[in-house]
Amino acid sequence: MENHNKYYIEKLAQINAAAGIEKPTACVVTYGCQMNARDSEKFSGMLFEMGYDLTNDEQAADLVIFNTCCVRENAENKLYGNLGNLKEKKRANPHFKIVLAGCMMQQDIVVDKIKQSYNFVDVIFGTHNIYRFPELLYSHFETGDSIVDVWENATEIVEDLPSLREYPFKAGVNIMYGCNNFCTYCIVPYVRGRERSRKPADILAEIKVLAANGVTEIMLLGQNVNSYGIGLECGTTFAQLLYMVNDVEGIARIRFMSSHPKDMTDDVVFAMRDLPKVCKMLHLPFQAGSSRLLKLMNRKHTKEWYIDLIDRVKANIPDIALTTDIMVGFPGETEEDFQHTLDVARHVRFSSAFTFIYSRRHGTPADLMENQVDENVVKDRFNRLVTEVNAISLELNEGRVGKTLSILVESEGKNGVLNGRADDGSLVHFEGDKALIGKYVDVRITEAKTFYLIGEQVQ
């Protein structure tokens, strides 16, 4: 596999040299979730091996690859806007290449629209064959034709792709791909395929290499990490995997996302409680409070069941930080249904909540439901929800003023302020030397905001 790619990677380096571009540049633009962010690191790795320098400047680059998302309509619109902006550049400079990849490309209607309205795009492929990117780009350079190669299903999991990691001290690691849940509003199962779990040995080998290279924080990634293990011969469960990762020397923090409430078994709760490296934070989307709506969404849990689960988690791990995804405006949602959503938010008290307005997705069952909710009603509910969840976030943050937290410093922001994260995932700003990036620092919290905390380094 690797040699196969190497062949095309070398050919591409020659092609670029022959075109008189000594050091071509490429820009990887990423939309969507952590899964896409991780795939983009692989695109960057492959491009780097083809001889491209990576840049963030779309307009200056010799090649732009868009790693697309289609979970909501506004994610798709961003791509079309960007393509419109690059049209002139492409016309003026035919050697400039535009590549489209990711979830959006798994939909026939999108590919048809691009062929029709954006026919200057050079290469299109989807989520199931990202490892073939060098080969597809090569055939474009060889033939001059637009190349479209979208696979309907995933074949085997391809290990050992090159990768240029975004951070030297923290890393996302895929443990599984795809989703089997088919929530009726969601496009992800159609564009990411069925659940496939990576072998524990492959996951651990990757994490050991990361640890040896200085990574201390690992985020285990999957659409539904707690159904990890389906189809594996060894039968390893997610809880067992947590134990294995906890044993890797050099790793200090383990996070994971996302979890589905229906698969949040007690053994995972106990592993979180008992394993020192597993961070005390849990992202557990509930989407809506009304059990009637949850059934229509095919979420396979009720309001009461979710609340009971949260209460069990809190009883076992009292200092846990809970986060969630909430959606308003699912077809048929009434004011009464919405009140159940507010009720769950008030009962659980999430540290932070990602709130979304329901977006109709072509090909999903909910798109065919007749009772779509009026836009203004949805906006009003959305605003009330955001007010409520933000007030709770602020209250929880205020309760932490005066505490000292261990912060992994991630980046330098404006005016020399450092950004870092506590064990429970909260964002902390404090003044300090940027040499601290990648290190753990004790910070005393002095001020609380809705979305972050402000503190000072404890000397």
Residues found near ligand SAH in the complex (CB under 6 A)? 71-72, 179, 185-186, 188, 223-224, 258, 260, 285, 287, 325, 327, 356, 358-359, 361
Q: Do the beta carbons of residue 448 and residue 401 sit within 8 Å?
A: yes
Q: Which CB sits closer to ligand F3S, 290 or 352? A: 352
Of 99, 94, 95, the residue nearest 82 (C-alpha):
99
Among 33, 157, 252, 275, interactor with ligand F3S by CB under 6 A = 33
Q: Which CB sits closer to ligand F3S, 75 or 443? A: 75
Of 69, 44, 43, the residue nearest 133 (C-alpha):
43
Q: Would residue 156 be called left, alpha or beta, if left means φ above 0 and alpha means ψ between -120 and 50 degrees?
A: beta
277 binds, among ligand SAH, ligand F3S, ligand SF4, none (CB under 5 to 8 A by kind): none
Give the dihedral sign, CA 44/65/30/299. negative
Adjacent-strand bridge partners of 443: 405, 457
Using a 10 angstrom Cβ sphere, with 0-12 exposed, 13-18 middle and 19 or more buried, the burial of residue 275 is: middle
Q: Does 35 bind ligand F3S (CB under 6 A)?
A: yes
User: Between residue 85 and residue 104, which ones bind ligand F3S under the rule CB under 6 A?
Assistant: 103
To the nearest whole angstrom, how small is the minimum distance from the Cβ of residue 361 to ligand SAH? 5
Q: What does the block give as tokens for 209?
A: 């290499």
Between CA 152 and CA 107 the distance in angstroms is 9
To the nearest whole angstrom, how small is the minimum distance from the Cβ of residue 312 to ligand SF4? 21
Q: Which CB sits closer to ligand SAH, 9 or 186? A: 186
327 binds, among ligand SF4, ligand F3S, ligand SAH, none (CB under 5 to 8 A by kind): ligand SAH
Count the neighbouring beta carbons within 10 Å of the beta carbon of residue 65.
Answer: 25
Among 71, 272, 293, 396, interactor with ligand F3S by CB under 6 A = 71
Judged by the rule CB under 6 A, the positions of this chain that interact with ligand SF4 are: 179, 181-183, 186, 188-189, 223-224, 260
182 binds, among ligand SAH, ligand SF4, ligand F3S, none (CB under 5 to 8 A by kind): ligand SF4
User: Between residue 111 and residue 130, which ones bind ligand F3S under the rule CB under 6 A?
Assistant: none
To the nearest whole angstrom, how small is the minimum distance from the Cβ of residue 389 to ligand SF4? 19
Q: Do the beta carbons of residue 453 and residue 445 sit within 8 Å?
A: yes
271 binds, among ligand SAH, ligand SF4, ligand F3S, none (CB under 5 to 8 A by kind): none
To the nearest whole angstrom, how small is the minimum distance from the Cβ of residue 345 to ligand SAH? 13
3-state secondary structure of 392: helix
35 binds, among ligand SF4, ligand SAH, ligand F3S, none (CB under 5 to 8 A by kind): ligand F3S
Between CA 175 and CA 232 the distance in angstroms is 12
Which residue type sits at 140?
H
Looking up tokens 């330098």, which residue turns up? 412
361 binds, among ligand F3S, ligand SF4, ligand SAH, none (CB under 5 to 8 A by kind): ligand SAH
To the nearest whole angstrom, how small is the minimum distance from the Cβ of residue 263 to ligand SAH? 10
Between CA 429 and CA 443 the distance in angstroms is 9
Exposure class string for 363-389: b at 16+ Cβ within 10 A, else e: ebbbeeeeebbeeeebeebbeebeebb
To the nearest whole angstrom, how small is the minimum distance from the Cβ of residue 254 to ligand SAH? 18
32 binds, among ligand SF4, ligand SAH, ligand F3S, none (CB under 5 to 8 A by kind): ligand F3S
To the nearest whole angstrom, how small is the minimum distance from the Cβ of residue 345 to ligand F3S? 22
Between CA 104 and CA 112 the distance in angstroms is 12
To the nearest whole angstrom, how small is the minimum distance from the Cβ of residue 29 to ligand F3S? 13
For the chain, the straight-line distance linking the first and the last C-alpha, in angstroms and rounded, comes to 51
Q: What does the block give as tokens for 399?
A: 């309760």
Cβ-closest residue to ligand F3S? Answer: 32
To the nearest whole angstrom, how small is the minimum distance from the Cβ of residue 2 to ligand F3S? 26
Q: Would residue 294 be called left, alpha or beta, if left means φ above 0 and alpha means ψ between -120 and 50 degrees?
A: alpha
Q: What does the block give as tokens for 54?
A: 């990576």
Q: Which CB sits closer to ligand SAH, 140 or 292? A: 292
Residue ranges binding ligand F3S (CB under 6 A): 32-33, 35-36, 69-71, 103, 188, 191-192
